[in-house]
Chains A and B, each alone.
Chain A
Amino acid sequence: MSEATLHPHTRDVLRLAQPHPRWFVPGLLAGIGSAVMAVALLACSAWLITVAAEMPSLAVLGLAVVGVRAFAIFRSVFRYLERVSSHDAAFRQLAELRLGMFRRIVPIAPAGLASTGRGDLLTRLVRDVDDLQDLPLRVVQPLLVAGTTALLSVVGIWLIVPAAGLTLLVCLLLAGILGTLFSGTLSARADRELAPLRGSLADEVLEIIENLDVLTAFDALTPRLEQLARTDARLRQATLRRSVGIGVQSAVVALFAGAATLGALYFGVPALDSGGGLLSPVLLGPTVIVAVLVPMAVFEVFGMIPLAGSAWRQVRVSATRVADIVPAAVPGEIPVDVVDPLTLCASDCASGPVVLELADLAARWPGQHEPGVAGVTLRLAPGDRVHLAGPSGAGKTTLAQTLERFLDYTGSYRLNGVEARLLAQSEVRRMVGLCEQRPWLFDDSIRQNLLFARDTTTDAELEAVLARVGLAEWSRARGGLDARVGERGALVSGGQAQRIALARALLADFPVLIVDEPTANVDSAGADALVRDILTAAADAHRAVLLISHTPVPDELVTARVTLPARAGGPTVISPCGAVRGGAAIS
């Protein structure tokens, strides 16, 4: 559990998860209060009984009676307060945690998160960030509560029977150290052994379930099921072998709990024989009994520590994963604004037509050695509608991400004659818009999904733009602009999502619009109609449209075709289709 082995970046992430003391301390105090009351309840009850057996004055006894009842009630009350207060603190910190992570993600998204391109990894990242809440709740708080309570109890017993106090201290330390050591090594080894087996089992199950039709049709199901049974058996065997080590930590803690009680007895008996120094003989017996019994209650509180240990391992895994995915510094392939207000172009390029010119443009994804796209030369002028084709892997999407300034470039990329890297990214994005391959719809109404493109739009204008992209009827049937699109657009088909994304782009009225593979997630029968509708709706004398698509596009819809060669770096082939002339040159 040593902090020293943590990467500094991971430590930064963990620091974000720990609430400010102002929120954290009340819960901590309540937790310590509750744990101390639990120990005091047993101590006071034992004392009450042994004192009562010696028939003392009722006043002393009355005090004990009040104490026992108070400890019992306040233990539960404090526990309730602890849980409410510590959860509240963790949730308060969640906002800071999320904002801190978001601040780091903003400059690199989306290209710098390309390794999270698969949706489930992004979900994983977000869940990991949220799981970091466990740091204050299940790691720091229990450790501090158990530690403080144990320390107070050791001091208390040491005051009564010094040797018993020391025994308790030694037992607590040994139980803590040995138990954590055992379970740490064992679980690390188990993870090494079991994680790959679990992974391959999950993969095999997924393949069988998702491809049951293929396996059945190719008479390959039976051998697959046999193979799965073998993998399952291997995992089961490994788990069974490992199970022997599982209970060691609890057993060690129980052993030392018993040892502490025995030690207290062993040292308590002679202490009683020799007679106490400070206490009167009547009170000495009961006090020693308390010293004998308290270790039991202390070890019950101490039981939080092994749980905190396993929570810590999980938190650490989450924090490491977050630190890995979200780099501390922006990678070189991602553009950073050169803030130089002098080169910010004036109002003439923020609105009005834009001419986009590329010359020998190349770009690379973070972490890749080879350029994703290279040698692109192209000119887009207002009124152009260009179909960018090319086999998969040629870098069509890379080009789109570069034009949007999500990736940095070499070569030349000019907007109205100004080099794009000298412009603020936001400036470029005002001129060049993109409909992504997988348009992201926010879990909100259709209105909200359109409004953020231009928030001054009236409902009538929104309905008009929906009609332009062919969604008028669909939107009416679903109850108009207030219909929700579902989480990640779950209630909307791939084609409808593309049309909503297009409507959004039309509202923003980008002078240059890039549409990246609109038919990628659309069933093949609907694809042609979608491409036709997109090109028709986006056509405008003031706008240049670049349609990226691997499927054929009818000639009458476009003014030129560009084909990216299979290997990045080959010459860009531009074929005339009316307006554009051939060759690897600019039109």
Chain B
Amino acid sequence: MRPLDPRLLRYAHAARRFLLVGALLGLAQTLVVIAFAWLLTRAITFTVAGEPLRTIAPTLAALAGVVVLRSVLIWLLEVAANRGAAQVKSQLRAKVIARLAERGPDWVASRQSARLSTVVTTGLDALDNYFARYLPQLLLTLIATPILIIVILSQDLISGLIVIVVIPLIPLFMILIGRVTQSVQQEQWQAMQRLSTGFLDVVGGLGTLKIYGRERRQFDRIRSITEEYRTRTMKVLRVSFLSGFVLELAASLSVAIIAVSIGLRLIDGALLLGVGLFVLLLAPEVFLPVRQVGAQFHAAADGLAAAEELFAILDDEMTPEVSQADAVAHTVQLGVGSLVLNGVSVRHGDTLVIDHLHAEFAPGQLSVLRGVSGVGKSTLVAALLGFVPFTGTLTLDGVTVPAGATRGWLAWAGQRPGLFRGTVANNVALGAASVDSTGPDHRLVVQSLRWAGAAEVSPATVLGVNGEGLSGGQAQRIAAARAIYRALATDCHVLILDEPSSALDSDAEAGLLVGLRHLADQGRVVIVVSHRAAVAAAADNVIELQELTHV
């Protein structure tokens, strides 16, 4: 792990500002630390010299001022760190989401979407500790350590030299120990990971275990996996804690060495008490930021790991494969013009999925696309939608449709319902509400729901996140209703439904087929991807996709 990833500064401007403010506050804090040590030494030497309280009073007053100033600076640095974290998180989040939107659905689908959204939200929160605890200490290490060393050197050369010798030993030893222990840690890591999920495995599978009458036996299993987890983890920790040990030992031993050397020189009279005390008070302060950096290293590493995943997305400068061509004004009257695929080939990654497909979908017809699982039906739909690049030509009413152009003429429902929080009406009228501010057209929503075979669902029903609250079959029909609404509201020429009835019972399926027939009768091209016999029976036209034999 690099202590400070330059990409953080590149992608989040707020990080630069925080570093500047933090550096200034760090400098001020260092000066306050020196002032405190100097004033305290002064007060103590006066005391030892037997001066009365009256003489010392001004020094005490100054000391009080410094104490207050120090608290204020500590407060300001924390405030700055937290503000910085909030702004950086917000900037990174905005950048990544914009990048994902630019890349398009196919690119996003090739990554784990749940993982992506966790990284963008709670994963980024790990940066809080990075900013609040780690970065300020890193700044202090860079600013305070050299200044304090110079001050100590100027007061007492020997103590300064001791510090200069010890300070570089700390990172050196930590790296050495890290190297030596790395192999031990990696050996244990996988076993530890598996054991740490062992309890989840037992609790999650408890229903299954009870079915087989095995629940009682799990007590021994839990005890043994937890014991093994402990043994293995402790093996790793015993070694990991060594680096902390070295850090502490170096810091406290060098303070001890400085104290002893000052003491011995005081006896000789080679050094004044004031100087000795001043150096003794500053010596631990030299090591404090370095020790904190070490202590916060793991918290920081978590934050950086989250940021790392985002950087990987942002760094990926590859231009999107689908060029975002300008929207072609493409208005086709209902009832005229077929959708024609002429020698269309689609690749998914390196695999050729569709090879020179010729197909014609005529208006007024219900066409069904069939084929065994994995033959590329959904990939073909993605190509029609413009999510996946293809070769060959796609024409609508004789006019060629470029791969990346927006599809104003197309309404679609995918295999996954993909519903949103909000009312069913708002879900059904998705995208249309922003076109005119009057909101969803209630009459049209009801009609769409009816034609999707979902007449029993009230448009006012409120759904949770990702459409929670509906059964699988209901969600599927709402998604179909959404496509139907778009087709009706914007006079869309083509309607494509991908497996719209896989979760439906036969009654609901029949209802949907009636609705689709209405839409075809209005002069639309209606394409349904389905393996269901009832759908094929209702179709005017069945297109079988053949499996490509890959060599």
Contact = CB atoms under 8 A, between A and B. Distances in A.
Interface of A: 38, 41-42, 44-46, 48-53, 55, 58, 61, 64-65, 68-69, 71-73, 75-77, 79-80, 83-84, 87-88, 91-92, 94-95, 98-99, 102-103, 105-106, 109-110, 119, 122-123, 125-126, 129-130, 198, 201-203, 205-223, 225, 228-229, 232-233, 235-236, 239-240, 242-244, 246-248, 250-252, 254-255, 257-259, 261-262, 265-266, 268-270, 272-273, 285, 288-289, 292-293, 389, 391-393, 404, 406, 425-426, 429-430, 433-434, 436, 439-443, 452-453, 487-488, 504, 508, 520, 523-528, 550-552
A361 B252 CA distance: 74
Given A247-B76, A443-B201, A55 B267 contact: yes
A262 B430 contact: no
Nearest to A441: B205
Contacts of A105: 203, 206
Nearest to A51: B263
B104 A212 contact: yes
Among A216, A222, A285, A520, residue most surrounded by chain B Cβ atoms (within 10 Å): A216
B121 A201 contact: yes
Contact of B237 (A84, A251, A270, A389): A84
20 contacts: A45-B280, A61-B267, A68-B259, A72-B253, A80-B242, A102-B202, A119-B204, A129-B199, A205-B97, A206-B114, A209-B108, A212-B100, A213-B382, A217-B385, A236-B87, A255-B68, A272-B48, A393-B471, A426-B213, A452-B209
Contact of A269 (B47, B199, B410): B47
Nearest to B224: A95
B82 interface: yes
Interface in B259-292: 259-260, 262-264, 266-267, 269, 273, 276-277, 280-281, 284
Contacts of B117: 202, 205-206, 209-210
A99 B466 contact: no
A208 B36 CA distance: 53
B139 interface: no
Contacts of A228: 97
B211 A429 contact: yes
Interface string B224-261: 00110110011001100110110011001101100110
Which applies to chain B's interface (DSSP): helix, strand, loop or mixed? helix
A45 B215 contact: no
A243 B79 contact: yes
B329 interface: no
B412 A95 contact: no
A392 B532 CA distance: 19
A221 B52 CA distance: 76
Contacts of B76: 247
Prevailing SS type, chain A contact patch? helix
Interface in B441-459: none
A550 B505 contact: yes
- Pick the 7 closest A-B CB pairs, nearest first: A258-B67, A247-B78, A392-B471, A524-B502, A110-B207, A218-B431, A45-B259
B385 A109 contact: no
A524 B208 contact: no
Interface string B413-456: 01100111100000000110010000000000000000000000
Interface residues of B, number: 141
Contacts of A53: 48, 266, 273, 276
B341 interface: no
A348 B227 CA distance: 42
A119 B434 CA distance: 35
A399 to B, nearest CB: 15
Contact of A80 (B204, B214, B241): B241
Given A94-B226, A211-B420, A258 B64 contact: yes
Nearest to B36: A258
B259 A48 contact: yes
Contacts of A130: 196, 199
B48 A392 contact: no
Given A76-B249, A83-B244, A265-B47, A205 B465 contact: no
